[in-house]
Structure formats: C-alpha cells, structure tokens
C-alpha cells in the first residue's frame, strides 16, 4: 500500500496573508451601475411623476438588503456610507421609496415543482456533523486528546430541482436503515429512490417495497436469489440482482441505471 503523501507549508508569510484576506470585504460600484443610477428621461407622455432612480439601482439596493439582512432604514444608511467612502456624487433614495418600488418590482424567481403532481425521484444519503471536539488537522497531527461528539444528518433531495424533501438528525450510532422509514414516511408519488450500498439491508428493501417504491442501489457481492416464498423486500432485491446481472456487473449497472445521480 502506497504511503500517504503529506504536504508541508513553507511560505508561511503568504499563507498567513491569505488567511487574513479571506474575510476582507471590498465593495465597489461598476461604471454601468453608476451610469444607470438615475432614471433616464422618457419622451412618452404618462400620468404622474417619472421615477427618479432606475430599476437597476432598486435591484442593487434590495440585493444588498437581502444579502446583509438589513431593514429598509439600515439599507439606506449602508448605501449612503458606501457612496461617501467611494467619493461618488450620487444621491441615495429614501427608505420609503425603496419600500414602494419593492412592492411593484418584477423579479422572476425559480418556482419549485408542486408536490403530489407527478412522480418524483429522490436521492437519499447521510453524513456526519461534528458538534463538539477538535478539528481534523489537530487529530491528524497530535492525535485525539478530548472527547468528540457527532450527529448524523440524513437527507432526501430531488435530483432535478435540488429541493430538499426530508431531513432527519439522529445520534451517530443510528444506521441509515433505521431512518429510511421516518425519512420517507410523508413522501407521495415517488418514482425511484437512489441510494448507496448502506441502504441494501433487509429493513430498507422491505420498507421500500411496502410503500411501492423502486430503489436503485447496489446489492452486496455474493448475494443470491431467494426462490422459495420470497417476501416483498426479497422480491425487490431479486429484481435488483437480475438488473445488475443483465447489465454485466455493478459498474455497468451504475452507468445504465442512473445510479450516479
């Protein structure tokens, strides 16, 4: 077995500067933003007074408000401070104007698909979340010195819209098979469930078959068909085994079945 390659940092001065600049926040306005700050006069005859500020400026102000989670009054003060620091001869709109323009501002956002409308595929997996203890670099360098506490994060995601369908947070000792029933209990109109080999246990296949879901997860090597009175979970496993054999092995089956989603 090849020895693991270890890297050592020699340019400590540059590395230290990069860590300092990681949180260095620099904001500026492009020439297009300054040019389109005010609304250009229109020759069309319309009722009412024309807008003073362009829609691009309103979008900029509302973006900064959303980014930093400012109220409208704080957004006005933040913009005034930026304009003063940059030395620009620009006026900032009143917060009441931002409120009025925001109510009529046309922003097209991506809409998530409505549930229970058609069949939806799901991808499920889990990962660890460390809530107490030393970092990984400290562990590799000096070893374990303090108690470390973990939690397990189980998630089901729609691979098409990237929408999170279900979340479960458990103790680190809980296996993936013990959570799949609670993770997918409230889901409806599921087409196919993609998972890895950790969800190939009998309890997982039994849960999926009872709910009528077809899972796309690899089966462990050396597994044979259950021919004598198979249960619903065993029927699902037999079906997966036949698909893997017909594809010519697990590697080809993963490419054909879309397992890598």
Q: CATH no. for residue 129?
A: 3.30.420
Question: Same structural domain for residues 138 and 234?
Answer: yes
Same domain, 170 and 244: yes
Residue 84 belongs to domain spanning: 25-104
Q: Which two tokens stand for residue 221?
A: 């090597």
**In-domain check, residue 2:** no
Residues 48 and 130 in one domain: no
Q: Is residue 5 part of a domain?
A: no
Q: What does each of the 261 residues of the chain score in pLDDT, given as a tens digit? A: 556 555 566 778 888 888 788 777 777 888 888 888 998 876 556 677 788 888 888 888 888 888 888 999 999 999 999 899 888 889 999 999 999 888 887 766 555 555 555 667 888 888 888 777 767 777 778 777 677 788 898 998 888 888 888 888 888 888 888 888 888 877 777 778 888 888 887 777 777 777 767 777 787 777 778 778 777 777 777 888 888 888 888 888 888 887 877
The side-by-side arrangement of strands in the sheet containing 164-171 is: 164-171, 149-157, 120-132, 190-194, 214-216
Q: Which of 72, 104, 136 marks a domain boundary?
A: 104
Residue 195 domain-assigned (yes or no): yes
User: Going along 81-183, which residue ranges are E strands?
Assistant: 120-132, 149-157, 164-171
- 3-state secondary structure at position 48: coil
| Distance between CA atoms of residues 67 and 158, nearest Å | 26
What pLDDT sits at residue 173? 86
pLDDT at residue 59 in the model: 87
The reply to whether 237 falls in a domain is: yes
Give Cα 43 distance to the centre of its chain. 47
Boundary of a domain, candidates 78, 104, 130:
104
Asked if residue 43 is part of any domain, the answer here is yes
Shared domain for 161 and 230, answered yes or no, is: yes
Assess whether 146 and 99 both reside in one domain: no
Same domain, 148 and 95: no
Answer with the one of 69, 104, 139 that is the final residue of a domain. Answer: 104
Same domain, 227 and 143: yes
Residue 165 lies in a domain: yes
Listed in sequence order, the residues at least 6 apart from 160 whose beta carbon sits closer than 8 Å to its beta carbon are 113, 120, 121
pLDDT value at residue 96: 92
Same domain for 148 and 182? yes
Tokens of 22: 């990681």
Instruction: Dig out the tokens for 254 from the structure.
Output: 């993963």
d(CA 161, CA 120): 10
Asked if residue 251 and residue 126 are part of one domain, the reply reads yes
Q: Is 235 left (phi over 0), alpha (psi -120 to 50) or beta?
A: alpha
Cβ atoms < 10 Å from Cβ of 158? 16
Distance CA 210, CA 208 (A): 5
Residue ranges of alpha helices (H) inside the chain are 12-21, 31-35, 55-68, 72-86, 95-104, 136-142, 180-183, 202-211, 232-247, 250-257
The domain total for the chain is 2
Do 128 and 243 lie in one domain? The reply is yes
pTM given for the model: 0.50
Residue 186 lies in a domain: yes
Q: Are residues 82 and 157 in the same domain?
A: no
Flag whether 113 is in a domain: no
157 and 244 housed in the same domain: yes
Strands 120-132 and 190-194: what pairing?
Answer: parallel
Residue 164 exposed, middle or buried by CB count within 10 Å (0-12, 13-18, 19+): exposed
Asked if 193 and 209 touch (Cβ cutoff 8 Å), the reply is no
Can you tell me the distance from the alpha carbon of 156 to that of 185, in angstroms, rounded to the nearest whole number? 11
């Amino acid at each position: 077995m090849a020895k693991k390659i270890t890297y050592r940092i020699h340019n400590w001065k540059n590395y230290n500067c990069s860590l300092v600049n990681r949180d260095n926040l620099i904001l500026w306005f492009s020439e297009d933003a300054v040019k389109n700050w005010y609304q250009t006069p229109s020759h069309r005859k319309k009722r009412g007074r024309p807008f003073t500020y362009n829609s691009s400026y309103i979008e900029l102000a509302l973006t900064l408000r959303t980014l930093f989670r400012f109220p409208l009054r704080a957004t006005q003060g933040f913009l005034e401070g930026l304009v003063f620091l940059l030395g620009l001869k620009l006026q900032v709109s009143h917060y009441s104007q931002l409120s009025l323009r925001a109510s009529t501002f046309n922003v097209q956002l991506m809409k998530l698909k409505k549930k229970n409308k058609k069949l939806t595929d799901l991808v499920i997996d889990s990962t660890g979340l460390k809530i107490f203890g030393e970092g990984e670099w400290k562990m590799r360098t000096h070893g374990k010195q303090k108690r470390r506490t973990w939690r397990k994060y189980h998630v089901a995601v729609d691979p098409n819209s990237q929408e999170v369908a279900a979340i479960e947070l458990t103790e680190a000792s809980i296996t993936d098979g013990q959570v799949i029933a609670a993770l997918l209990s409230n889901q409806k109109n599921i087409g196919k469930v993609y998972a890895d080999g950790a969800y190939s246990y009998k309890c997982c296949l039994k849960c999926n078959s009872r709910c009528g879901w077809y899972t796309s997860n690899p089966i462990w090597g050396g597994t044979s068909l259950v021919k004598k009175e198979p249960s619903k979970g065993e029927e699902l496993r037999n079906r997966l085994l036949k698909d893997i054999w017909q594809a010519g092995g697990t590697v080809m089956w993963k490419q054909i079945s879309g397992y890598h989603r």
